[in-house]
Amino acid sequence: MTPSLDSLTRPESGGTPARRMPAWLIPSGIALGFAVLFLALFRDRLLPAPDVKTAVVLTTTGDAKNASASASPGNMLFQASGWIEADPLPVKATALIDGVVDKVMVLEGQLVKEGDPLATLIDADAKLALAAAERQHAAMVSECEAHQASIETLKKKLEGAATRITAARSSEDEAEDRYSRIKNLKSAISESDIVSARLRYERERSLHLAAQAEAAELEAEINRVNLETKAKGDGIDGAWVAVQKAKLTLERTKIPSPISGRVLRLNAAPGQKKMLQMDEAESSTIATLYDPAKLQVRVDVPLADAANLSVGQKAKIRCGLLPDKIFEGEVTRITGEADLQRNTLQAKVRILDPIDQLRPEMLCRVEFMGNASMLTQAGGALATWIPQEAVADGAAWVCDPESKRVSKRSIQASNETREGMVRISEGLKPGEHVVLSPQGLDEGQRVNPSLVTQ
């Protein structure tokens, strides 16, 4: 039985074919998403910012009663965060010559003693330079000694010339005497004898003058050689300085530790180039060290609390490394310039009893204590003042001068007013900018502020 052709046909599908998604739909969706994201991020920048007037929060000295209560001896006046650092400064071990690092003997965190080698530079060139300088010095010394020996030889020749001068003078005197006696005896002596006597006298006189000239020449030669010997002596001194300089250069290929302490940062590795005359600050630094027994805390004190800060003030220091340990401290320095951006004043607090576990750049919390001297020096606590027109329903709008956005801040205003200003007990910090006569503002809204001087 053979199958029919009808049995080989594919049965028709009963459903309708699926519709394909249009090709423009995906890029359109992506573009729409970017447009929505752009509007969400920059919507306020696209809209015009309202113009507002702002004023700075001012501070004055408050009542002495409040200040005496807060600054009583042993009580904490305020606290601030800070970071540990070397006291007074870290010390850098510097390569005093240009070169390439050969070996590094220490690692970061390692304790070293003063004079211990930290690293060495490749010293092959320095050794050759020292050998060349020593050879040059030895050659100049030998040359100077040869000149000194030639002076002795010239002195001996000068002594011989003096002897010859004496002999020549005697011969000249003898010839002169004979000639003077026979030149008047022409009748008794032949003319030839008289001429011979005269010629002999002239010859002996010439020999005498030649001996004197030779002696004078030897004296001049001795003076010249003496001057050359002195010049070569000066050259020997210069060569000796060159030898010492070459020795110093060779010694400087070994960089020792300038202090006894701990390696804070290592700035060298074998094969690294060190250049002394480069503008880069660390171009010649091998390592930075500090003394673990001399540490201080770099504290940024808010300006609202800076009035209660003084040199010699006692402090207590807490570190997250040892939360149960309290370190005693003392304010040693107050920087001469405040930080305008952070609205703080930096102070240095020496740690009186540091331990080995403390490390630079560890975060600390410093509590500044009151003392008896502050009771007489401080006239009172700081009082905060803002214009009355900046207060609206127990709140004030604060404007950030960087982002130019406003935020609503709850405040507590007192009944004390002065020249259109009202005293604020809490809610605002000195130096902040408040909006005058705020109307129709929203939280986080961007504005166009203009500062009003008071």
Query: Taking Cα atoms as reference points, which of 252, 251, 363, 377 lies closest to residue 299?
Result: 363
Whether 62 shows a pLDDT value over 60: the answer reads no
Given a cut of 60, whether residue 14 has pLDDT beyond it is: no
> 146 versus 373: which is more confidently predicted?
146
* pLDDT value at 67 more than 50: no
Residue 349: pLDDT over 90:
yes
pLDDT at 298: 92
pLDDT of residue 68: 45
C-alpha–C-alpha distance, residues 449 and 444, integer Å: 14
Q: Which of 132-141, 223-232, 321-330, 426-435 has the lowest mean pLDDT?
A: 223-232
438 cis-preceded (ω within 30 degrees of 0): no
What pLDDT shows up at residue 375?
46
Tens of pLDDT, residue by residue over 101-114, are: 999 999 998 999 99
Confidence (pLDDT) at 112: 92
Q: Mean pLDDT score of the chain, rounded to an integer?
A: 80
> By C-alpha distance, which of 307, 244, 328, 255 is closest to 95?
255
Q: Please name the residue that has the structure tokens 């920087």.
A: 335
pLDDT given for residue 8 in this prediction:
52
Per-residue exposure over 271-286, b if at least 16 CB sit within 10 Å of its own CB, e if not? eeebeeeeeeeebbbb
Domains and CATH numbers, the chain: 51-62+381-451 (2.40.420.20), 72-88+294-377 (2.40.30.170), 91-122+256-288 (2.40.50.100), 125-251 (1.10.287)
Provide the token pair at 234.
Answer: 């000066």
Place of tokens 């402090």: 315
Q: What is the pLDDT of residue 206?
A: 81
Q: If residue 406 lies in a helix (H) or strand (E), which one and from where to where?
A: strand 405-410
The Cα 203–Cα 211 span in angstroms is 12
Position 178 scores a pLDDT of 72
Q: Who's near 106: CB < 8 A, 6+ residues apart?
A: 112, 116, 118, 119, 263, 266, 287
* pLDDT, position 423: 87
Pairing label, strands 51-56, 433-436: antiparallel
Lowest mean pLDDT among 66-70, 96-100, 247-251, 286-290: 66-70
Higher pLDDT, 234 or 293: 293
**CB burial of residue 449 (10 Å; 0-12, 13-18, 19+):** buried
CA gyration radius, the chain: 50
What distances in angstroms separate CA 220 from CA 149, 270, 418, 428, one per listed residue? 16, 61, 101, 97
Question: What pLDDT does 225 receive?
Answer: 75
E strands, 91-250, are: 91-94, 99-104, 111-112, 117-121
pLDDT value for 64: 46
pLDDT at 397 over 90: no
116/56: higher pLDDT: 116
User: Average pLDDT for residues 341-362, to the nearest whole number?
Assistant: 89
Give the three-state DSSP class for 33.
helix
Q: What percentage of the chain has pLDDT greater than the value 70?
A: 83
Task: Specify whether the CB–CB gap between 58 and 424 falls below 8 A.
Answer: no
The predicted pLDDT at position 373 comes to 52
Give the highest mean pLDDT range of 19-33, 66-80, 111-125: 111-125
- pLDDT over 70 (residue 187): no
The confidence band for 2, taking pLDDT boundaries of 50, 70 and 90, is low
User: How confident is the model over 117-142, as a mean pLDDT?
Assistant: 89
Q: How far apart are CA 213 and CA 225, in angstroms?
A: 18
How far is C-alpha 433 from the chain's CA centre?
38
> Residue 294's pLDDT is what?
92
d(CA 367, CA 360): 19
Q: For residues 193 and 260, which has the higher predicted lDDT (pLDDT)? A: 260
- Integer Cα distance of 393 and 408 in angstroms: 11
